Amino acid sequence: MAVQQNKVSKSRRNNRRAHDALVAANPNECGNCGELKRPHHVCPSCGHYADRQVVAVTDEIELDEDAA
């Protein structure tokens, strides 16, 4: 196990952690359906990206119980 050679002062520790804050997400409106979505990502609610459908979206998936 690595062992530190010198005590890290509260000031040095806090200065290191000054850049550790989380940044809030910055959602955009989908150009197709208007839902909020992550920028540069496919819209999860309608499957559009750059004004065209790239992922098929279904409301529900039917599970066939006899398939197994």
Please tell me the distance from the alpha carbon of residue 62 to that of residue 52, in angstroms, as a whole number: 26
Specify the residue, 33 or 55, whose C-beta has the smaller distance to Zn ion. Answer: 33
Dihedral, 32, 41, 56, 54 alpha carbons, nearest 10: 80
Which CB sits closer to Zn ion, 8 or 33? 33
Q: Footprint of Zn ion on residues 23-62 (CB under 5 A)? A: 30, 32-33, 35, 43, 46, 48
C-alpha 43/C-alpha 23 separation (Å) is: 21
Question: Considering the complex, what minimum distance in angstroms separates the CB of residue 23 from Zn ion?
Answer: 24
**Which chain residues interact with Zn ion by CB under 5 A?**
30, 32-33, 35, 43, 46, 48
